[in-house]
Structure 1
């Protein structure tokens, strides 16, 4: 999806698009946020790929300063309207891949949810390095990435039930959903990609979401494990 596509979606985004935080019915992401929050990290929170700003605004009271960054002008305009009365939040429209991280440094906590999905490794590497460049020495990032193991599990379950899966796997971890190709990750490939970009993981958890977000009927899929994204906690390698 390009910034232009997201701008076209912006006006109805909150009604028709469910982000990773909203889909997290077990509260895995918020529990991780609360566990990692402390006096040092409360200085600055950055949501890298903030969409309509809902997650930033949900966390605003816990931080001294919050910054939401997104490449879609329409999304940023929507976020700014929602944040009119919130004084410690600012929203910036910038390219995710080309963002100048020198403008936002020493972040105590960075969130980046289902943004690192480009099929180009060089593009993904730029985003990982941007995240690393934003972090304070003791800062951490929480990153949500789509799980390839989840797609494999759902595909096998659909085959067993004689159903057509809504996602189709290609070589190299690429998954096609409604004609859009995205990079999905195994736990192993995710940790390896972090390491290649001067980062390391300290947390890796499943974030389950319900079947309608997969385009499947939960009644039909009863008894099958819920699909999931990966939540990875990230630090810079010192």
Structure 2
């Protein structure tokens, strides 16, 4: 399967820090590609370049084999790339539906907002995700898991091709994490491509197709996750040989 996205030889420096050094990263359509590394490995920097938060110093980005320029978050969104940051971007005093269609309200003749159409559209997207909730619920009343689903619904509504999820399970309960897994599986079937950033190894093995490891701002390995044992993965992340890995290690 050909790559839907390629980031080639990406480098990024901040004052006194070489955050990324000639990093390669690629995505295939419909895959869940896990991105992992210790703190400071460069994974968030790489995805912020894709999201338009940072601009790269060197390298090139290709989408559907066409070279693209991402100078700001608007560029990224227009190219069909949606990023769900660790700190969610929902406006608490709006309803779930208002957050999903924020900036893109459905308007009938006359230019006034059609609340009925907006709520109907939000419900349609929630139904696609298997989420049973009233779209008129105030966001302040939503659980963290439901807020995460609302962010995903926003991404779908924006006609994205690629969804980047940065540590999406951090504040979720066990049940909410399993619901997130179900939604990711559903998105895969619908042809969405997912980048999943997490430190939790059990999550990566539960949902991932391929995995890329970064260490100290450099690319280390990309492979199908079934080809890498947890012990090998930890060795790639840390750069040190590990004689024994406890079964229940989940975080670094």
Aligning the two structures, in what range does the TM-score lie when normalised by the shorter sequence?
A: 0.3 to 0.5
TM-score relative to the length of structure 2? 0.32
Structure number with the bigger relative contact order (C-alpha 8 A, sep ≥ 6) is 2
TM-score relative to the length of structure 1? 0.33
Which of these two proteins has the greater Rg computed from alpha carbons? Answer: 2
